[in-house]
């Protein structure tokens, strides 16, 4: 960061901040894509019904003629959820044939991570002072040229994607990049290309000088990040997600928590003595309320007590009512103990009690 | 947690007799703890459901509770033709609609074997018959399964007839040159679809990606164990089933009435015949028909099997309150619009059985009608069919709750 005048200082600082910023963007993009994969994998246990693996025709195997009424075809439950793919419906990989999308997406993600790490590692200085030589100058130059080439190709791919599949998001930052690729995404790629190009001659990492030099350095870095953020359609979505909570009727809340809330409530204590089973005989949800039904005895007669528990994390309301069962109600659970043969109910009750 | 462990199935047709009765009783229990808003005038007659004990009141026994259980479940369907036509004909819960099997057909009269016996239906000159396409009544053959919509106010005068209509909506699992296997949902099983060569081009205009993993929705003629696809019911989503776009975050509660499109399905049994499948069942109930991957659109509030849903056909004005009988597994990932009358907002919000769809004024070959849904509730005055009051899908504050 040497120079006679302010423009030269500005240019030098601008060059110096590029490698870390570019490395951060590349690593962040890779991690965002990986998080998508991890979410999909974690989701598998939640009742997802996977789509069957590609058939023989898609795998390139021999086609066979099948009678329409043929009942069973390979590919059942337990297969990989398609959402686990890196190529899940986003990005320029969609321009390629189906069989190439997944490997291409994996290669791209790995390349982003490698390039980001390479930019950081090759920028390590031999010493700790400003202006010290690069530890591996040729490797650093190579990494920066590779980054420039990568962003140039990315910009071209986004132009192509916009032409051929205008409905698809660029997928640059995984699920955050679901909006159709637009001018901003292309401009961002072009900006990063230029950034990588001007960073080729930048020196090793160093601590900026104190005083005005540090302010100028930080100002340049902040300005560039702001420009990149302005060109990133993902930022607005990320900010919305940060402060977002679902409305109660759209919120998922485990039933275990509902039961735990119920058992802590005043209404439960009021009716607990009359309740004759440990397990609820029914539980369902409508909008912001979950209803839990227990059999009970009321004045020597069979009855049911229904609790309405609000689907709310803090201070949920609990309401209750008791209904008598008449003799012509064939499905009413008798006010008796838990059926011994119903092991699943008993296990469930044990689970709910541990909550 | 009974429900979570599957003692109560999530769909009426999957449930046993006891569980179905339990599902039917939910309306009564809900009314006890959350009484519906009172009618303006003295509606509560002798048959009213006495409700007490809600909220912080002491445990007051309620009498007469059991009998109203029959009002729920499949029997809770209530017709409310707000501005629409009143159609008295038809068995069971679908006014103006008759389903059955053709015993004999002539240009003027067809004889059907329906659930309530043999019926003779007259065909006026303007009556139309669909059997893969618009055909002459003489094209009906003995053994054809038909859905007949009667002329309003008539019991034996057909307005429209659909013969052997079938539909397959789901994820393409495997494809051959002329046939494919479609996954419709966990409890529905897989459907074989045959595509005649002369139809393939027409279908691929709106379903260009007939590859495994993509969604399809075909209407056609039901054969023995397969569907002969003839008509595309919608346009194919550009994404695969597992790649449905994440729904956009939205602030605030859901609107009281949600607009979208209502579609139809081939009912899977008597319990499924008089209700509606809803795409957003409470995920905590371990529904056997969990929606497929992807959140899709629109954002629908969570309900459960047995909840009453008031469905309104925005094209005809016909509205009915129907119990939710199951989950519509693929409806959430079709973000399509219906253009039967105007352009509906995106998303499928109700999946009706075939007869119910026709009873509400839908045409099977169109595949959908513009619809709105709201939460229905049994009115306090009369718990039987036809006594359904419209509610709101937005969540309001509780009136008299106690912790």
What's the pLDDT tens digit per position in B89-136?
344 467 788 888 999 888 889 999 988 888 899 988 888 899 988 888
At residue B264, the pLDDT reads 92
* Residue A68 within any structural domain of the chain: no
The percentage of chain A sitting over the pLDDT mark of 70, rounded to a whole number, equals: 70
Domain boundary among A242, A275, A298: A242
Tell me: do A29 and A128 sit in the same domain. Answer: yes
Residue A289 lies in a domain: yes
Q: Which DSSP symbol is given to B63? A: S
User: Chain A: residue nearest B68 by CA?
Assistant: A329
Same domain, A259 and A293: yes
Sign of the C-alpha dihedral, residues B206, B208, B214, B217?
A: positive
Residue B399 has pLDDT above 90, yes or no: no
Q: Compare all CA atoms of chain A with the CA of B244 and give the residue at the minimum distance.
A: A89
Residues A284 and A181 in one domain: no
A341 in a structural domain: yes
Residue with tokens 């500005």: A10
Q: Answer yes or no: do A153 and A237 share one domain.
A: yes
Residue B156 CA to residue B118 CA, distance in Å, equals 12
Residues A130 and A272 in one domain: no
User: Looking up tokens 């016909």, which residue turns up?
Assistant: B318
Contact B66, A332 (CB under 8 A): yes
> Which residue out of A322, A338, A346 would a mutagenesis test of the B interface target, given it has the greatest number of B Cβ atoms within 10 Å?
A322
User: What are B181-192's pLDDT values in tens digits?
Assistant: 998 877 677 889
- CATH fold of B166-243 reads OB fold (Dihydrolipoamide Acetyltransferase, E2P) (2.40.50)
Q: In chain B, positions 152-171, which contact chain A (CB-CB < 8 Å)?
A: 171
DSSP structural state of residue B281: B
Q: Are the Cβ atoms of B401 and A310 closer than 8 angstroms?
A: yes
CA A239 vs CA A242, B245, B298, B361: distances in Å: 5, 18, 21, 44
Fold exhibited by the domain B1-37+67-86+248-395: Barwin-like endoglucanases (2.40.40)
In a domain, residue A62? The reply is no
| Complete edge-to-edge strand list for the sheet that includes strand B109-114 | B117-122, B109-114, B97-105, B145-150, B158-163, B128-130, B134-135
Please indicate if any CB of chain A lies within 8 Å of the CB of B198. no
Does residue A268 sit at the B interface (CB-CB below 8 Å)?
Answer: no
| Domain shared by A238 and A277, yes or no | no
Q: Could you say which of A265, A288, A329 has the minimum Cβ distance to residue B403?
A: A265
Query: At residue A304, does pLDDT exceed 90?
Result: no
pLDDT at A253: 80
Domain assignment of residue A70, yes or no = no
**pTM over cut 0.90:** no
Look over chain A and give the mean of its residue pLDDT values, rounded to a whole number.
Answer: 73
Q: Are residues A230 and A266 in the same domain?
A: no
> Residues A292, A200: one domain?
no
Q: Which of A24-28, A217-221, B56-60 has the lowest mean pLDDT?
A: B56-60
B350: how many CB neighbours lie within 10 A of its CB?
31
Q: Chain B 351-390, CB below 8 Å of chain A: which residues?
A: 375
Which pLDDT value is given to residue A11?
A: 83
Assess whether A183 and A275 both reside in one domain: no
For chain A, what is the domain count? Answer: 2
Whether pLDDT at B252 is above 70: no
Q: Among A242, A263, A298, where does a domain finish?
A: A242
Judged against a pLDDT cut of 80, whether residue A42 lies above it is answered with no
Q: Is residue A24 part of a domain?
A: yes
What pLDDT does A288 receive?
86
Any domain includes A66: no
Check residue A153 and give its pLDDT. Answer: 92
Residue A45: is it exposed, middle or buried by C-beta count within 10 angstroms (0-12/13-18/19+)?
exposed
Are A212 and A263 in a shared domain? Answer: no
Give tens-digit pLDDT for B339-360. Answer: 888 888 888 889 999 989 999 8
Lowest mean pLDDT among A63-77, A145-159, A304-318, B153-167: A63-77
Residue A63 in any domain: the answer is no
The reply to whether residue A47 touches residue B51, judged by beta carbons under 8 angstroms, is: no
Q: Residue A290 and residue B397: Cα distance in Å, rounded?
A: 14
Residue-range domain boundaries for chain B: 1-37+67-86+248-395, 166-243
Q: What would the mean pLDDT of B135-148 be, rounded to a whole number?
A: 89
Q: A176-210: string of b/e by CB count within 10 Å (b at 16+)?
A: bbbbebeeebbbbbbbbbebbbebbebbbbbebee
Examine the fold and report which residue of A226, A242, A258 is the final residue of a domain before the chain moves on.
A242
Q: What is the least distance, in Å, from the CA of B103 to any CA of chain A?
A: 26
Least confident of A22-26, A193-197, A211-215, B289-293: B289-293
Sequence-distant (6+) residues with CB within 8 A of B207 are B214, B216, B218, B232, B235, B236
Q: Do A108 and A171 sit in the same domain of this protein?
A: yes
Domain ranges, residue A113: 6-51+78-242
Answer whether A54 sits within 8 Å of B69, measured CB to CB.
Answer: no
């Amino acid at each position: 960061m040497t120079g006679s005048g302010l423009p030269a200082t500005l240019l030098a600082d601008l060059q110096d901040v590029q490698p870390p910023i570019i490395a951060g963007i590349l690593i962040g993009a890779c991690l965002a894509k990986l998080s998508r994969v991890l979410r999909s994998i974690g989701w598998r246990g939640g009742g997802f019904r996977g789509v069957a693996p590609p058939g023989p025709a898609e795998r390139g195997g021999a086609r066979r003629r099948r009678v329409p009424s043929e009942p069973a075809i390979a590919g059942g439950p337990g297969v990989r959820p398609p959402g686990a793919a890196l190529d899940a419906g986003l990005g320029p990989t969609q321009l390629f044939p189906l069989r190439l999308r997944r490997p291409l997406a994996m290669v791209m993600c790995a390349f982003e991570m490698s390039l980001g790490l390479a930019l950081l590692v090759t920028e390590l200085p031999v010493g700790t002072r400003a202006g010290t030589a690069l530890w591996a100058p040729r490797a650093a130059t190579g990494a920066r040229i590779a980054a420039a080439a990568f962003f140039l190709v990315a910009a071209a791919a986004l132009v192509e994607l916009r032409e051929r599949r205008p409905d698809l998001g660029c997928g640059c930052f995984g699920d955050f990049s679901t909006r159709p690729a637009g001018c901003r995404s292309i401009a961002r790629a072009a900006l990063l290309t230029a950034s990588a190009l001007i960073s080729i001659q930048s020196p090793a990492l160093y601590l900026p000088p104190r005083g005005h030099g540090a302010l100028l350095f930080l100002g340049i870095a902040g300005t560039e990040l702001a420009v990149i953020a302005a060109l990133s359609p993902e930022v607005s979505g990320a900010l919305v997600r940060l402060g977002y909570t679902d409305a109660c009727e759209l919120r998922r809340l485990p039933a275990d928590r509902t039961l735990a809330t119920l058992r802590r409530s005043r209404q439960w204590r009021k009716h607990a003595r009359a309740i004759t089973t440990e397990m609820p005989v029914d539980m369902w949800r409508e909008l912001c309320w979950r209803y839990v039904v227990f059999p009970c005895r009321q004045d020597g007669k069979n009855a049911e007590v229904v609790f309405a528990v609000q689907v709310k994390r803090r201070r949920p309301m609990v309401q209750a009512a008791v209904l008598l069962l008449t003799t012509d109600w064939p499905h009413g659970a008798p006010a008796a103990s838990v059926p011994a043969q119903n092991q699943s109910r008993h296990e469930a009750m044990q689970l709910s009690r541990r909550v | 947690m009974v429900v979570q462990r599957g003692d109560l199935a999530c769909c009426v047709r999957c449930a046993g007799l006891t569980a179905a009765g339990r599902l039917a009783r939910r309306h009564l229990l809900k009314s006890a703890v959350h009484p519906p808003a009172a009618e303006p005038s003295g509606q509560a007659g002798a048959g009213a459901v006495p409700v007490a004990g809600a909220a912080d009141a002491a445990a007051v026994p309620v009498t007469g509770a059991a009998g109203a259980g029959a009002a729920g479940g499949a029997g809770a369907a209530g017709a409310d033709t707000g501005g629409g036509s009143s159609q008295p004909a038809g068995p069971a819960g679908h006014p103006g609609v008759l389903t059955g099997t053709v015993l004999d057909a002539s240009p003027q009269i067809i004889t059907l074997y329906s659930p309530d016996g043999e019926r003779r239906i007259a065909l006026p000159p303007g009556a139309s018959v669909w059997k893969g396409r618009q055909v002459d009544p003489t094209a009906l053959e003995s053994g054809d399964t038909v859905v007949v919509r009667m002329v309003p106010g008539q019991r034996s005068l057909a307005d429209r007839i659909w013969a052997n209509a079938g539909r397959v909506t789901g994820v393409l699992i495997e494809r051959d040159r002329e046939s494919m296997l479609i996954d419709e949902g966990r409890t529905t099983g897989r459907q074989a679809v045959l595509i005649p060569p002369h139809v393939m081009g027409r279908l691929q205009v709106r379903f260009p990606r007939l590859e495994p993993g993509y969604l399809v929705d075909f209407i056609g003629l039901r054969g023995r164990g397969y569907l002969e696809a003839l008509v595309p019911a919608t346009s194919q989503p550009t994404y695969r089933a597992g790649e449905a776009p994440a729904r956009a975050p939205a602030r605030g509660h859901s609107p009281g009435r949600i607009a979208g499109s209502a579609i139809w399905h081939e009912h899977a049994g008597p319990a499924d015949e008089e209700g509606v499948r809803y795409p957003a069942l409470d995920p905590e109930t371990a529904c056997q028909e969990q929606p497929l991957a992807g959140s899709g659109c629109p954002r629908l509030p969570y309900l459960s099997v047995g909840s009453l849903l008031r469905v309104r056909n925005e094209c005809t004005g016909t509205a009915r309150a129907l119990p939710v009988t199951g989950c519509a597994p693929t409806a959430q990932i079709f973000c399509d619009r219906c253009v039967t009358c105007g352009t509906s907002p995106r998303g499928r919000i109700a999946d009706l059985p075939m007869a119910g769809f026709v009873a509400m004024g839908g045409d099977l070959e169109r595949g959908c009608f513009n619809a709105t849904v709201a939460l229905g509730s049994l009115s306090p005055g009369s718990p039987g069919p036809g006594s359904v009051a419209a509610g709101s899908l937005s969540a309001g504050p509780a009136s008299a709750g106690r912790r």
